[in-house]
Amino acid sequence: MIITTPVTDYIPASMLTNDGDMVVRKLGVVERLAKNVQLTFLRSSAGDTYPNWGGITGDIDNYFKGQGGAAWPIFETLALRDTGIHIGNSTRNSAGDQVISGVGFELSVVIFIAMDVASGNRNFSWGFDNGTLAMCIAQSEDDTDSMLMNTHSINIHRDISNTIIGVLSAITANSFTITWSLAGACAVDFIYLCLP
């Protein structure tokens, strides 16, 4: 929609409204940048056109980002540093729930790399988990077997009687919970990467 009434005070006329839209000005024409669907982002356009709403597809574009402090927001390429990542490590040798806190954001996926605590054992696991889908590839029984699992994200399998298996069971705004199953005696060291 084009605004035909002259606007003389561009400060209040160029703000986001509570409907999620914005008044913009291009080449002397004041126009309302309409609200858009969920999960679209305000991004810069080529040349002298005003910003538009769009999804993150194809080439990564420039998006309107706050700069902190007293600095003005600018259009800049999105990066993971803008939304956050969290890297950590832990160990486990028992069944039950283990809460990993201090993530700093509500994650969307965790990548796990795990190994048997006994360093002489060549048992490893590489997995992904988003709280709904969990998958891993495991090297087990002293590197004599390999597995693909779609029910959990960590699997250390020393032998048929000694295993420890983990799956993401809860996600909060600042943490995640791994639920462990243990058979026999087994322990795991793991590192993880949380993505927003």
CA distance linking residue 16 with residue 51, whole number of Å: 13
Nearest to 136 by CA among 94, 188, 80: 188
User: Do the Cβ atoms of 146 and 140 come closer than 8 Å?
Assistant: yes
Q: For the chain, give the mean pLDDT.
A: 81
User: Do the Cβ atoms of 179 and 154 come closer than 8 Å?
Assistant: no
Span 42-88, pLDDT tens digits:
666 666 566 667 666 544 456 667 777 777 777 777 676 667 789 99
CA distance linking residue 13 with residue 49, whole number of Å: 18
What pLDDT is stored for residue 100 in this prediction?
97
What pLDDT is stored for residue 141 in this prediction?
84
What pLDDT is stored for residue 94 in this prediction?
97
Q: How far is CA 158 from CA 62, 174, 190, in A?
A: 49, 33, 16
Q: Retrieve residue 121's tokens.
A: 């054992």
Three-class SS state of 155: strand
All structural domains of the chain: 10-79 (no CATH), 83-195 (2.60.40)
Span 157-171, pLDDT tens digits:
998 899 999 999 999
